[in-house]
Structure 1
């Protein structure tokens, strides 16, 4: 079952709209394999590429995807467990600037992605059925666990599209 528009902030609508699937968990698992193949196909020279001076490198895009995976996974677990406090937002530009992802080896980014995504898959797979519809607040906006799973899927689809179109990667 897909999330309703009231289950997430309109800011995330573009990501959810990229996900027509009803079975989000299977789609996330399949996507994980595809993204890992994409990471494995990038060498260090290509990983440093920026399509413009003020844009993120390939490494920084993958790093941003990992940061978002961690944050959305954390939000999903908190809300699934009944958290009532508002969870903080994050500034992706500040995170990217302070992460130092350009100094990471592409293999380390691949490893960080794989373990982070795998952890989220296992956590989501083992949620009680009623947890998927639990509602919490993140970045001062209401969100459900189900919506967060779709946001994870759609956010990664969006950035894989950016890597294809602007960075000319075969992902």
Structure 2
């Protein structure tokens, strides 16, 4: 799947897409999965519930946000790939975190969920040919292609893992 052109997504997403290395996006997604598992698998629950500042998300909430966002974007990619162009509503990330009850779960449960979700999404994106990857739909009031979504997912995860490394560990 080729890197999307800048006219295939809103300018806001360039911050994420520009950080994704060149090469096979599905390989990048798989490499991210391994790196995230290695980074977070040995942390204790007390660290997972920590916040680097008041009113900031806990590490669990950040990981849950990554999982929820990937799930929402993958659904959009599937719909666009199947020629359902939407429009689809925005994802209110603060509401997702507020109502997620994430402190009731273990860090391992989030890692397990992320692992299964990411593996499923890699298979999904691998199933799309070039024509499908160029299909466009509307979500959050902006147009985006299927392949842009794959890169947004990778860039979004990369962004939040950087924050975890710098602020939580």
User: Structure 1 length as normaliser, TM-score?
Assistant: 0.94
In the TM superposition, what are the counterparts of 1:65-104 in structure 2 within 5 Å? 65-104=66-105
In the TM superposition, what are the counterparts of 1:77-156 in structure 2 within 5 Å? 77-156=78-157
Q: Spell out, residue by residue over 1:109-148, the C-alpha distance to the aligned partner (whole angstroms, 9 max, x if none).
A: 1111111111101111111331111111111100001100
Match of 2:28 in 1: 27
Unaligned runs of 5+ in 2: none
Determine helix, strand or coil for the equivalent of 1:166.
Answer: helix
In structure 2, C-alpha distance between the alignment counterparts of 1:100 and 1:53, rounded to whole Å: 18
User: Structure 2 length as normaliser, TM-score?
Assistant: 0.96
In structure 1, C-alpha distance between the alignment counterparts of 2:152 and 2:86, rounded to whole Å: 20
Structure 1 stretches of at least 4 aligned residues deviating more than 2 Å after TM superposition: none
Determine helix, strand or coil for the equivalent of 2:138.
Answer: strand
Shift of residue 39 of structure 1? 2.5
Determine helix, strand or coil for the equivalent of 1:136.
Answer: strand
Unaligned runs of 5+ in 1: none
Match of 2:39 in 1: 38
Aligned length: 168
Match of 1:157 in 2: 158
